[in-house]
Amino acid sequence: LATLASGRSGTGLIRGGALAIVDGRIAFVGREEDLPSRFQADEEIDLAGRLVTPGLIDCHTHLVFGGDRSNEFEARLAGADYEAIAKAGGGIQSTVRATRAETEESLVASAAKRLNSFICEGVTTIEIKSGYGLDYETELRMLRAARRLGQIYPIDIVTTLLAAHTVPGDQERATYLNLVTEKIIPRAVEDGLADAIDGFCDSIGFSSEELQRVFRRARELALPVKVHADQLSDAGGAELAAQFSALSADHLEKTGAAGVAALARAGTVAVLLPGAYFDLREKHLPPIEQMRTMGVRIAIATDCNPGSSPLVSILTAMRMAAVQFSLSVDEVLAGVTREAARALGRHAETGALEVGKSANLAIWNVERPVELVYWMGSNPLFSRVWRGKKTSLTGSIDWGWRASNAP
Ligand SMILES: [Zn+2]
C-alpha cells in the first residue's frame, strides 16, 4: 500500500499491507498481520502483491468544451504563429464559439469520452472548470454539464467557475467583469453549480486588480478561490492567490520569489501543469526549488483543454512532471493524490489511504510506485475502487475484478 498518508515519509509504503473497507470508507490500513479479527470474516480479496494507491486526483481540467483545435495544431506544426491564428478567429475564441453552440447534452457526451480516459487510469476525483462560455447562459450550462457527468459516472467531480478566463471578443472589459460579479457568480452559487471560483491572472487574461473584485464577490458568497497564475508573465498571480487564501495557484511558470513566499505563508497549493509546459515548448521552469525550500505543497494536473494541453492521461502528466520539472517519484505521487486533494479542499475526504477517508483506491499491476512514473504510454491499472465500490474500466459499476490491459 502506498498510503500517501501525511506524517509518513515518501509514499508511506506498507509492504504486506491490508486495507479494510466498511460502508464505503477505509476502516483499517496497516500490515496484514495487524488486521483486527472483526474484519476477517468479511469478503476478502487477495491482490497477489499488486500495488494499491489512493485513487488518483486531477485537480485542474477544462474537460467540458465544444469542438477541438486540431486544425490549429496542424497549422502551428506547419509554421503558423499563435497570434496569426488568433487574428484569424482561432485560439480560445474559436472554442468559445463552438461551446456556445452546444447543448448541455452534447457537452456531456463529448466530455464523457475524455472522462472515461481518466477513469481508466484510476482517477476517482476530477476537477472541471467552466470558462469557454464567457456569457451568462453558457458558463452555467458548462457547470451543469460537469455536475451531470458526476451523476452518471462513478467519479467525484469538483466544479470551478472560470468565467474570468478572458474577455469575450464581443464585449468591453468592464461590462463583462460586471456580468461575472453581478450575475454569473451569484447565479452559479444559488444553483449550487460551483465549488470554487477561478480567474486567469496574466497578460492575456485579467490583471490582479480586476480579479480582486471577482474574488471579493467569491468571498462574500463563501466560495474558495483558485488562480491561473503567472503562466506567461509574473502578473502578481501568486500574491493575489495568497491574499485570498486560495486553495491553489496554478501554472506559476513565471512566478518570482515574492510570489513563492506568499504561497508558503498562505498555505496555498502550487499546481504544476506539465502538459501546457510541453505543448507550448515553454523554456522557463516554475520556481520549484524555491517551492521546496519554502515548504510550498506541490500538486500536478493535466490542465486538459483543447488549446494548450489536450492531455487526457494523468499518468502521462506524472511522467512529464518528473522529467520536465525534476520532481521525485514521491513528489509526483503526492502531487496526484494527497496534495491534489488539498488543492480542491477535499483532503479530509480523499487523497490518502487513511482510516475514515472515502475508500477511493487504484490497484495497479506493478510492484513499486516508481513503475507508475517510469513507463510511457502504458496503463497498468488492474482495478479501481470508488467510494468502496469496485468499478470497471468502462465507467459502469461492476462487482467483478477486471484486468485493464493484461496480455
Ligand atoms: Zn487551466
pLDDT digits (tens), the chain, 407 positions: 999 999 888 999 999 999 999 999 999 999 999 999 988 767 888 999 999 999 999 999 999 999 999 999 999 899 988 778 877 888 899 999 999 999 999 999 999 999 999 999 999 999 999 999 999 999 999 999 999 999 999 999 999 999 999 999 889 999 999 999 999 999 999 999 999 999 999 988 999 999 999 999 999 999 999 999 999 999 999 999 999 999 999 999 999 999 999 999 999 999 999 999 999 899 999 999 999 999 999 999 999 999 999 999 999 999 999 999 999 999 999 999 999 999 999 999 999 999 999 999 999 999 999 999 999 999 999 999 999 998 755 444 333 334 343 32
Residue 69 CB coordination number (10 Å): 22
- The Å distance, Cα 369 to ligand 1 centre, comes to 27
- The Å distance, Cα 276 to ligand 1 centre, comes to 9
Radius of gyration of the chain (CA): 21
Grid cell in block for residue 395: 465507467
Q: What is the pLDDT of residue 103?
A: 98
- The Å distance, Cα 311 to ligand 1 centre, comes to 12
Helix (H, G, I), strand (E, B) or coil at 53: strand
What is the C-alpha separation between 271 and 300, in angstroms, rounded? 5
31: left (phi over 0), alpha (psi -120 to 50) or beta: beta
Q: What is the pLDDT of residue 392?
A: 59
pTM for this prediction: 0.95
Q: What is the pLDDT of residue 407?
A: 28
- The Å distance, Cα 142 to ligand 1 centre, comes to 15
What is the C-alpha separation between 62 and 311, in angstroms, rounded? 10
Q: What is the pLDDT of residue 391?
A: 79
DSSP state of 299: E
- The Å distance, Cα 133 to ligand 1 centre, comes to 15
Task: Answer positive or negative: Cα dihedral of 110, 111, 112, 118.
Answer: positive
- The Å distance, Cα 11 to ligand 1 centre, comes to 27
How far CA 169 is from CA of 87, 135, 173, in Å, comes to 11, 11, 10
Grid cell in block for residue 379: 496503463
Q: What is the pLDDT of residue 268?
A: 98
- The Å distance, Cα 269 to ligand 1 centre, comes to 15
What is the C-alpha separation between 397 and 27, in angstroms, rounded? 22
Largest CA distance in the chain: 68
